[in-house]
C-alpha cells in the first residue's frame, strides 16, 4: 500500500473518510505557489480544503513541514478561507495537539479502514505486484517444519511498535528490500536459523504484516543504515545488539492478518502474543502455525 493509494482512496471516496462533510474533489497533486499538495477539495460553503497524506506514523519532521506549508498558504491567500487536514495511519497525541493548535485538523486513518474501503470498491493497490513472494523458500521452510514434532517451537512472532519504529514504510523500502534485522530480547537460545517468523505490528491495527525466514542464529550485529532511519525515538539503541537476520518471503501490508480476526478463533486463544503482548519475540506452537498459515494463504496478493 503506497502513500498514493491512500491519497487515491480519500480523493475518490471522501464520504467514507469524512461522512459528515460534503467534499467535492477539485484536483489531486494540486500546486499552489510552487508547493504541491495531495488533494484539493471544496466544501459546501465554498471553502478550499487541502488534504495532505502520510503513510505510517506522522514523524516530527513531517509535522514541521506541514506547519510551514500551512503558514505559506495563509500568508499568500489572506482573503481566502483555506483549511488543511492531515491524514496518517498513526498520529502521536503530542503531534496532534501541536498541529491542531495551529489550526490544522488531524485524522488518523488506520490500515483496517483502508483495506475495507479498498475491498468495498474493488480498488487494486498500486504495489500489489511490486514484491513477489519467494514461494520456494516458503515451501521449503514449511516442509521442514512438518518434520518436527508437535512440541518443537520453530515459528516466532517478531513484534514492532509503530510509535517507535515505522515498520509500514520499512517493509516496502526498496533499499532495504527483503532483508531485515530484528532484535532478540527473549528466547535467544531457542530462535534458530531456518525457523519461520512473522512480523507483527502492535497498536490499533495490530496483526501480521509479513512472513520471514530466519537466516541466522542470534548474534551481535548492527542494522543496515537504511533500517536505522525508521527509528522514531532516540531512546532505542541502533548499534550492535543481539539480532537475527530475516528474509521476507511474503508481505501482507495490503491485507494483514489482523489481531481481531485471530481473537475470534478458539484454537488460537492461547497464542502467546494474544495472551501477553509485552515483548519483542513470541513463540508460536505448531498447531497454531497451521491455522495461521492457512489464513495467510487465503489473503489476497
Q: What DSSP string describes 21-45? A: ---EEEEEEEEETTEEEEEEEE-TT
| Domain identity same for 188 and 245 | yes
pLDDT tens digits, one per residue of 162-210: 988 999 999 989 899 899 999 999 999 999 999 999 999 999 899 999 9
| Domain identity same for 144 and 293 | yes
The residue among 299, 100, 119 whose CA lies nearest residue 209 is: 299
| Domain identity same for 93 and 50 | yes
pLDDT tens digits, one per residue of 104-134: 899 999 999 999 999 999 999 887 766 555 5
pLDDT tens digits, one per residue of 42-52: 998 888 898 99
Give pLDDT, residue 82: 81
Q: What is the CATH number of the domain that holds 240?
A: 3.10.590.10
| Domain identity same for 148 and 293 | yes
The winner for highest mean pLDDT among 51-60, 64-73, 187-196 is: 187-196
Which of helix, strand or coil describes residue 131?
coil
In a domain, 238, yes or no: yes
In a domain, 130, yes or no: no
> How does the average pLDDT of the chain come out, rounded?
87
In a domain, 125, yes or no: no
Q: Which domain holds residue 217?
A: 135-298
Q: Give the global pTM.
A: 0.83
| 18-34 average pLDDT score | 86
Total domains present in the chain = 2
Q: E strand or H helix at 99, and its extent?
A: helix 93-101
| Domain identity same for 53 and 15 | yes
The residue among 165, 161, 162, 159 whose CA lies nearest residue 232 is: 165
Residue pair 214/138 in contact by the 8 Å Cβ criterion: no
Q: What is the CATH number of the domain that holds 50?
A: 3.40.1350.10
In a domain, 66, yes or no: yes
Amino acid at each position: 500500500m503506497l502513500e498514493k493509494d491512500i491519497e487515491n482512496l480519500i480523493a475518490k471516496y471522501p464520504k467514507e473518510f469524512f461522512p459528515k462533510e460534503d467534499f467535492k474533489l477539485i484536483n489531486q497533486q494540486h500546486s499552489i505557489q510552487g508547493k504541491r499538495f495531495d488533494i484539493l477539495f471544496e466544501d459546501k460553503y465554498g471553502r478550499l480544503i487541502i488534504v495532505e497524506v502520510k503513510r505510517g506514523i506522522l514523524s516530527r519532521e513531517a509535522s514541521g513541514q506541514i506547519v510551514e506549508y500551512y503558514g505559506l498558504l495563509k500568508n499568500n491567500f489572506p482573503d481566502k478561507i483555506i483549511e488543511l487536514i492531515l491524514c496518517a495511519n498513526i498520529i502521536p497525541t503530542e503531534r496532534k495537539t501541536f498541529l491542531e493548535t495551529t489550526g490544522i485538523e488531524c485524522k488518523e486513518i488506520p490500515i483496517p479502514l483502508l483495506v475495507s474501503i479498498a475491498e468495498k470498491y474493488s480498488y487494486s493497490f498500486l504495489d500489489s505486484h511490486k514484491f513477489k513472494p519467494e514461494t520456494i523458500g516458503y515451501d521449503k521452510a514449511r516442509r521442514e517444519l512438518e518434520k518436527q514434532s508437535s512440541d518443537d517451537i520453530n515459528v516466532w512472532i517478531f513484534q514492532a511498535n509503530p510509535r517507535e519504529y515505522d515498520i509500514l514504510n520499512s517493509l516496502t523500502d526498496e533499499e532495504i528490500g527483503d532483508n531485515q534485522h530484528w532484535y532478540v530480547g527473549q528466547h535467544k537460545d531457542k530462535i534458530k536459523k531456518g525457523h519461520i517468523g512473522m512480523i507483527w505490528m502492535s497498536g490499533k491495527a495490530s496483526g501480521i504484516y509479513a512472513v520471514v525466514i530466519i537466516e541466522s542464529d542470534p548474534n551481535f550485529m548492527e542494522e543496515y543504515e537504511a533500517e536505522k532511519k525508521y527509528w522514531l525515538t532516540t531512546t532505542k539503541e541502533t548499534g550492535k545488539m543481539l539480532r537475527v537476520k530475516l528474509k521476507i518471503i511474503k508481505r501482507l501490508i495490503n491485507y494483514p492478518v489482523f489481531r481481531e480476526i485471530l481473537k475470534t478463533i478458539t484454537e488460537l486463544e492461547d497464542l502467546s502474543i494474544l495472551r501477553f503482548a509485552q515483548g519483542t519475540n513470541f513463540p508460536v506452537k505448531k498447531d497454531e502455525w497451521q491455522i495461521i498459515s492457512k489464513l495467510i494463504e487465503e489473503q489476497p496478493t
